[in-house]
Amino acid sequence: MSTDSAMAAVNEYLARLRKAFDYLPSAERDEMVEEVRSHVLERIEAEPCLTEQLVNGILRAVGDPEELASQDRTEATLRRALKTKSPWVLLRSTLTWATTGIAGVIALFVTLTGYGCAAVCYLSVFLKPFFPSRIGLWLRPEHTLTLGYWDGRFSGTQVYGISVRPPALFVLGTLSPTEGPVRELLGSWLLPVGLLCGALFAVGTTLLTRWLIRRFGPRKRSQSPRLELTTGAVR
Amino acid sequence: MALGKIADNRADHWGAQFRKGCLEMAILASLWKSRLYGLEILRRLERSSSLGLAEGTLYVILNRLKADGLVHSEWVDAGSGHPRKYYWLTASGKDRLRTMARFWVQFSGDLDALLESVLSGRELASVHR
């Protein structure tokens, strides 16, 4: 086997490796690929006679790139999430986590709901100047408060947004249509209140999601056997 | 017969999971005395343990240990034509390894006592060989 064709096989493997580890930040990924490259080349250089079988054997020993990445993807993604304030990264991370078990599904639900509420608040602030009579904080006859969009109908009225009804109803979206008048409570105060509520939802969701990852993430579980056995604890 | 095969597969799976769980400790332990690069760590693990890992897994774990602040690394051009990335333990890496080692010695000692009567003398000797 010529050195050129050996290098072609190595480069093809490294390209697969780079693609499989696409969830890592690019600097981290480049460094890992470079390290594996150095490893493979040193293995190849140690062989007196280069054959295709030998190069393939060396690459097989390093491992299938997709399989290697699958062992690490969730952990690395959540590790990155712990250092970020970006809702997008946190959402993607919890989505990856959700594919591994129920804790991830719950975290994804919490994160989606929290950022969804923040989005409703900001969207209401943004749309209020364009639809002043339709956007607001609405009080419905059954004592439900809804921040969002009223469809303008007086019968079979629908309001879309965040709804709360004491003591325990919370809905993101819309409730069943209601009969009777709806009353807007905030007027132009919606702008500062919406901005404040949006910020609180966004920051609160970020902190809560990161706490969930730290407390229930797979890394936490794998490290968690508290390394403090008392004498005879296993007996 | 089929049930026996399933039991064997489960035992193999358990063994693989167990080895996987020990990898982090073994890699940290290999760095206890000196700075090493990836291939040297692998050789040391091959010599002194039966962990048997896909070589690429080492780099995934090293990357994770680095992100956790347990090891430092540095590229060194040793004149071999391509640079090598050397690793060494940080202070918190040493602390973590000490904690793991204490846990391991006590845990394995307790289990050894429990399992002593399970294997015959000849089987024990063949395992240690």
- A interface toward B at CB cutoff 8 Å? 17, 24, 28, 31-32, 34-39, 41-43, 45, 61-65, 67-68, 71-72, 75-76, 79, 222, 225, 227-229, 231-235
Q: Which is nearest to A186 in space by CA: A126, A233, A125, A144?
A: A125
pLDDT tens digit string along B72-108?
Answer: 999 998 776 778 999 999 999 999 999 999 999 999 8
Q: For B100, which residue in chain A has the nearest alpha carbon?
A: A227
Put simply, the answer to whether B82 touches A41 (Cβ < 8 Å) is: yes
pLDDT digits (tens, 9 = 90+) for A186-221: 888 999 999 999 999 999 999 999 999 989 887 654
Q: Tell me the shortest Cα–Cα distance from A204 to chain B, in angstroms.
A: 25
Q: Write down the residue that tokens 């017969």 correspond to.
A: B1
Give the pTM.
0.69
pLDDT: which is higher, B114 or B106 = B106
- pLDDT at residue A231 above 60? no
> How far is Cα A215 from Cα A116, in angstroms, rounded to an integer?
23
ipTM of model over 0.95: no
pLDDT tens sequence across B6-64:
666 777 777 777 777 788 999 999 999 999 999 999 999 888 767 777 899 999 999 98
Q: Sort out which chain B residues have CB atoms less than 8 A from A76's CB and list them.
A: 63-64, 67
Number of domains in chain B: 1
Mean pLDDT score, A163-184:
83
Here the CATH number for the domain that contains residue B99 is: 1.10.10.10
Distance from the A69 Cα atom to the nearest Cα atom in chain B, whole angstroms = 8
State residue B4's pLDDT score: 64
What's the gap in Å between the CA of A110 and the closest CA on chain B?
A: 26
Find the domain containing B118 and state its range. 2-128
